Structure 1
Amino acid sequence: MKIALPTRNGMIDSHFGHCEYYTIVELGPNKEVVSKEVLEAPQGCGCKSNIAFTLRDLGVELMLAGNMGQGAVNVLSGQNISVLRGCSGDVDQVVSDYIVGKLTDSQISCDHHDCNH
């Protein structure tokens, strides 16, 4: 299973559409981390990019994110990428918390947008 985490300076970025890069973590059959890579974020607003399609093509099945608008959730879900919102802190710790079942979706969507939609 591959997981994407919107990242800035090694921490979960509070807004997926403006992150510096995505940390892509692959979990093995025993939920152990088998690989970790960085995918540069598209320039500008992520929600206007093809990032959902790129992540899908990389085999990402889950995004562990901070805040995200419902439109972005819908686009990711349309590419069979589940979204768990409300994550914060160090990306490695967030992955560890996911592995042991400590994370739940906040189900809170951003209702503001800095991209002038």
Structure 2
Amino acid sequence: MKIAIPSRQGFLDEHFGHCEAFTILTLDETRKIVKEDLLTPPPGCGCKSNIVSTLAEMGVKVLLAGNMGQGAVNKLEEAGISVIRGASGSVRTVADQWLAGNLQSSNTICTAHHDHDGHGGCGNH
């Protein structure tokens, strides 16, 4: 099983659509982390890229996030990836909290209109 965490310099990145990387953690059958990889997303807003299909093709089944719009959540869930929102901290802390069953989704939805590098906002995707 694989889980993905939008990340920046070893910490959960609060903005799924513009994260520096996705930390992909591979778990063995006992749910122990056995491998860690970084996936650099394409430039631009992640909600408008092919990152969801890329994560699904890699075998990601869970995405642990801080906050994201409902459109992104819908795309991930349609691709078979469960989304847990409301996480924060280092990538390993977030993963360990989820593995221990101590991370429950807050269902926080980002509805702000963001202006990213002058390219307009993502709205609620």
With normalisation by structure 1, the TM-score equals 0.96
Map of 2:70 onto structure 1: 70
Structure 1, unmatched stretches of 5+, are none
CA distance in 2, matches of 1:116, 1:7: 20
Q: Distance in 2 between matches of 1:41 and 1:7?
A: 11
Which SS does the other structure have where 1:71 is aligned? helix
CA shift, 1:108, in A, is 1.0
Counterparts in 2 of 1:79-94, with a 5 A limit?
79-94=79-94
How well do the aligned residues superpose, as a CA RMSD in angstroms?
0.9
Equivalences, count: 117
User: Aligned to 1:24, what secondary structure does the other structure show?
Assistant: strand
Q: Distance in 2 between matches of 1:113 and 1:101?
A: 33
SS of residue paired to 2:86: coil
3-state SS, counterpart of residue 97 of structure 1: helix
In 1: Cα distance, 2:46 partner to 2:121 partner: 13
Partner of residue 54, structure 1: 54
Q: Compute the TM-score of the two structures, normalised by the length of structure 2.
A: 0.90
Counterpart amino acid of 2:121?
A: N
Query: What is the match of residue 25 of structure 1?
Result: 25
Partner of 2:117: none
Distance in 2 (CA, whole Å) between partners of 1:64 and 1:116 is: 23
The answer as to 2:92 corresponding to 1:97 is no
> Kindly, what percent of the aligned residue pairs are identical?
50
Larger Rg: 2
Equivalent AA in structure 2 for residue 16 of structure 1: F
Deviation per CA, 1:43-82: give whole Å up to 9, x if none.
0111010100000000000000011100000000110000
Taking the aligned partners of 2:101 and 2:78, their CA distance within structure 1 comes to 25
Q: Which amino acid aligns with 1:4?
A: A
Q: CA deviation at 1:6?
A: 0.1
| Structure 2 residues without counterparts, runs of 5 or longer | 115-119
2:91, 2:12 → 1: CA distance?
6
Matches of 2:42 and 2:103, distance apart in 1: 27
